[in-house]
A and B are shown apart, each in its own frame.
Chain A
């Protein structure tokens, strides 16, 4: 069974630009969560989607948004990028048991 797939794996943007990250969950998993990982703040929850609906949202500004499609694939978008948005963005999918399985992440560098 294929794991969680995130694209792109690496990207470099400049301040003020926007970025879209993609996540394909494990087949059959309907819940997708996003996390931001930085050396300073650790792993922080961004939001969770289930059946195309946002079920939970963390404490991030409105520049961070996401969506989920009918095939459970998810995207997150960050607008008006700031230097502090440089991070590893992790996507996790889960099934009924609630165990979260993470992808390898998208490493964003903002210059």
Chain B
């Protein structure tokens, strides 16, 4: 049972365009939603994260939009660059003693054409 569903599986965007990746979850106990970026041969790197008490968080060109009632959240990459080409994972986690356990989406392979 996939706790976090991510789409699309792959995404091709022109340089300067907006990349949008969507995720949905079912478990209302989740209270922390990070996004990770992974380059080939590397481990996932934390990009940006949000908690459900806010609807949007922006860091540079990266924005998370969060819809608690719909149990959905998305990553927007503005002014996409070839260097953004990587695999992106959304994740979710409950609180308390489950701090180390993230439930990951299946990933989105982003390609940004120059």
Question: Interface on A for B, CB 8 Å cutoff?
Answer: 4, 31-33, 35, 42-45, 48, 50, 55-56, 58, 90, 92, 94, 98-105
Contacts and interface: CB of A to CB of B under 8 A. Distances in A.
A110 B76 CA distance: 38
A98 B44 contact: no
Contacts of A32: 100
Interface of B: 32, 34, 36, 41-46, 49, 89, 93, 97-107
A56 B103 CA distance: 13
Nearest to A92: B100
A55 B97 CA distance: 7
Given A42-B107, A55-B97, A98-B93, A104 B43 contact: yes
B45 A45 contact: no
Given A55-B97, A55-B100, A56-B100, A100 B46 contact: yes
Given A48-B100, A58-B101, A98-B93, A90 B43 contact: yes
